[in-house]
Amino acid sequence: MYFSRDNVFYLNGKWLNATDAMGNLFSQTLHYGNGAFDGLRAYATNTGPQIFKAKQHFDRLHYSASKMSIDIDHTSEDLIEIAHQLLSKNRLNNAYIRPLVYLGADTELSETKEVFLLMAAWEWERYLGSDLLKVMISSYEKPSHESIPADTKIYGHYTNSILATMEAKSKGFDEALLLNSDGYVTEGPGANFFYEKDEVLYTPPAGDILPGITRATVISYAREIGYKVVEKQFTAEELVDADAAFFTGTAAEIAGIKSIGGHDFAMDWEDTVAYSLFLMYRQRVVNNEYRDFTLV
Ligand code: PMP
């Protein structure tokens, strides 16, 4: 449920009730998909909600918007403050936060000056759920960074993502994994991808992926506890011999994968390095036990 009668959101300096929301039906964003967004998560702690890597997410929102020549007249620090007010006004502790930049009316395919910054929050279970996932290699290709800047959360990417997820679901899978035009694995429609082999983790390099904030966090946790992480290109065929695989993302957190293309991974999820990282992430980020950290 994205909003209820009582839900309040932020729009260009004002706090509005969700049921009073109005938009311009001639928005360039609605017609042509010009805009940017991001997704953050807040977790309950003894001292109130903590937002996971808030500055990095809002800096990325600025970066994504700048790639479309859109100026956001709020600093990342302003946006962090607004996010905290948003949580408090909606009495949310564990929540997903969606800042979204959209544009005014324009029928041209060029820069539009009227910019709207919306921020909403709602309770949201882990995107991709908690069960191990059945994944298929998508027949849709991930756009190359030469067609759409890969390191941004601009809307164009998500047309491709929706097509890939819809295809996977229609074929009885939970999620898709996309290859680039050279046949190398890139990422899921809304999350980064890792596989594990002989206690080493492999993940596609920056280039045709969104190099996620969770991906960077997981890489640093793995290295901290002595595991090697290799960023390299690999094909779907190489996954047949993998011990395990998982997706990472702010909304998905760490989501384990059961099978790819109907082929189950050899190891039990609970016996993998990936699972240790899953527990570590849960303890540090989800349960916010940064200081008292011990690996379960
Ligand atoms: N790739 C794509 C295409 C995504 O939409 C996301 C979600 N933002 C990610 C990767 C993961 O990024 P992050 O860990 O920063 O949420």
Amino acid identity for residue 230 in this structure: V
Centroid of ligand 1 to alpha carbon of 149 (angstroms): 14
- Is the pLDDT assigned to residue 2 strictly greater than 70? no
Query: What ligand 1 atom has the least distance to the C-alpha of 251?
Result: 16
**pLDDT band with cut points at 50, 70 and 90 for residue 83:** very high
Report the percentage of the chain scoring pLDDT > 90.
83
- How far apart CA 49 and CA 201 sit, in angstroms, is 32
**What domains lie within the chain, and their CATH numbers?**
8-122 (3.30.470.10), 133-286 (3.20.10.10)
Mutate to test the pocket of ligand 1, among 192, 194, 215, 253 (most ligand atoms within 8 A of CB): 192
pLDDT at 19: 83
Which two tokens mark 194? Answer: 């890792």
Q: How many CA atoms lie within 13 A of 148 on its CB side?
A: 23
CB 244 within 8 A of CB 205: no
Q: How many CA atoms lie within 13 A of 294 on its CB side?
A: 2
pLDDT digits (tens, 9 = 90+) for 115-136: 999 999 999 888 888 899 999 9
In our burial notation (b when 16+ CB lie closer than 10 A, e otherwise), range 274-295 reads: bbbbbebbebbbbebeeeeeee
pLDDT at 37: 98
Adjacent-strand bridge partners of 51: 42
Amino acid identity for residue 151 in this structure: D
pLDDT digits (tens, 9 = 90+) for 10-27: 999 999 998 888 889 999
Q: Say if strands 185-187 and 192-197 run parallel, antiparallel, or are unpaired.
A: unpaired
Mutate to test the pocket of ligand 1, among 55, 214, 253, 281 (most ligand atoms within 8 A of CB): 214
- What sections of 2-155 are H helices per DSSP? 28-32, 54-67, 76-89
In our burial notation (b when 16+ CB lie closer than 10 A, e otherwise), range 207-236 reads: ebbbbbbbbebbbebbeeeebebeeebbee
CB 274 within 8 A of CB 201: yes
Listed residue (96, 82, 99, 95) closest to 35, CA to CA: 99
Task: Output the pTM of the full model.
Answer: 0.95
Catalytic residue among 142, 153, 228, 232: 153
153 is catalytic: yes
- How far apart CA 175 and CA 189 sit, in angstroms, is 8
Q: For the chain, how far is it from start to end, CA to CA, in angstroms?
A: 33
